[in-house]
Amino acid sequence: MDVLVALLRSCRLSKPDEDLGPCFMDTLPYNPLLNPLIIAKVFAYSGQKDLINYRLVCKSWNGFATSLLQSNSYATVRQESDLTRLLRLTKHSSNYFPITRFYIKPTPKRESKQEHSSDI
Amino acid sequence: MALVRVISSDGAAFLVSQRLAKRSGKLKTEIETFRKSSDNSEAQPEIRIVTIRAEILRLVLQWLQQHQNDPVLPANQNEQDGRGDAEMGQSQWDRDFLAPMDLGIVMELILAANHLEVKGLLDITCKLVESKITGRTVDEIRTAFKLKSDFKGNEEEQTRLENRWCVEN
């Protein structure tokens, strides 16, 4: 169990190399990270994994991260066996993340097959 | 060269050229307002910025000076994702400029850049803050940035459940 916890901790996206000071926010007239324009600018550089995480911080972060995720997220179904996953996704589709688009892509061909088809 | 006196919240006066000052949207508006209300066209405008202290104002002016010859980008450029120009335009000078600052100074600089409407500076400081919060846990972010969880009832739990299937695995 302890090993598992340790593993989970080490699996963070990146290791913070320093401690964020505890009280540097106290002197500010208001919290910049609650200003919509500033949140939008900061989140614009965030990856999907971080945005998913930011949804849990507070309501206003949730709102911004959710709308960014909604505009960028998609799931790809590549094989017939993936249909079960598609079913699972649609089952979990919620008001926040409704399934709105499907992309149908062909299964990528293997190298040898491509050579074969080019011979013909 | 037309000059303008910009005064910080703690009373320090900075004498800068109007050309430089006008690269801040806020100062540009203030200078134009002063021109309209003043009879003497030679009079030197004086602008008091009550929310920004000298140390921070000096940094903003220093950044403006370094970037005074950059092309003025339309405010809405690449604005669809809010990402601005920090990605492509961040120079070695900017990195050296930001490097010695602690996060408290960076946060003050963000507020100042926002207030004075200095888009380029806002972009690079916001990007820096993102690099400080990426990969952190929710609790770490809440503690460091004084953000309180304001979820009610099972809202947080519901979000957690949604997040479980958000990640494609």
A66 assigned to some structural domain: yes
CA dihedral B160, B166, B168, B169 (to 10 degrees): 20
What pLDDT shows up at residue B4? Answer: 96
Listed range (A3-17, A98-112, B8-22, B67-81) with the worst mean pLDDT: A3-17
Q: Is residue A40 part of a domain?
A: yes
Confidence of residue A1 (pLDDT cuts 50, 70, 90): very low
Task: Read off the pLDDT band of A106 (50, 70, 90).
Answer: low
> Does residue A27 contact residue B105 with C-beta atoms inside 8 Å?
no
pLDDT of residue A62: 94
**Stretch (H or E) spanning B95:** helix B92-98
B111 near A CB under 8 A: yes
Nearest CA distance, B131 vs chain A (angstrom): 8
Among B38, B4, B48, residue whose Cα is nearest residue B22: B4
Structural domains in chain B, CATH included, are 3-152 (3.30.710.10)
- Residues of B whose CB is below 8 A from A56: 138, 156, 159-160, 163
A107 located within any domain: no
Q: Residue A45: which of B155, B16, B29, B129 has the closest Cα? A: B129
Is residue A58 a part of any domain in this protein?
A: yes
Q: Do the Cβ atoms of B135 and A50 come within 8 Å? A: yes
In this complex, which of B82, B107, B167 lies closest to A28 when CB atoms are compared?
B107
The number of domains in chain A is 1
Residue of A nearest to B146 (CA): A25
Instruction: Return the residue matching tokens 């307002």.
Output: B33
CA distance A109 to chain B (A): 22
Range of the domain at A83: 27-95
Domain membership of residue A3 (yes or no) is: no
Contacts of A88 in chain B (CB under 8 A): 165
| A97 with B146: Cβ contact below 8 A | no
Instruction: Quick: pLDDT tens for A15-72.
Output: 444 555 556 777 788 899 999 999 999 999 998 889 999 999 999 999 999 988 887 7
Q: Is B11 left (phi over 0), alpha (psi -120 to 50) or beta?
A: left
CA distance A57 to chain B (A): 6
Contact B135, A14 (CB under 8 A): yes
Is the CB of residue A38 less than 8 Å from the CB of residue A32? yes
Is A42 domain-assigned?
yes
CB pairs under 8 A between A and B: 137
Residue identified by tokens 């990146």 is A14
Which residues numbered 35-94 in B keep a CB inside 8 Å of some CB on A?
A: 51, 81-84, 86-87
**A-proximal residues of B, 120-159, CB under 8 Å:** 122-123, 126-127, 129-138, 140-151, 155-156, 159
pLDDT digits (tens, 9 = 90+) for B41-85: 788 999 999 999 999 999 999 999 999 888 766 555 444 444 555
Phi, then psi, of B21 in degrees rounded to 5: -60, -35
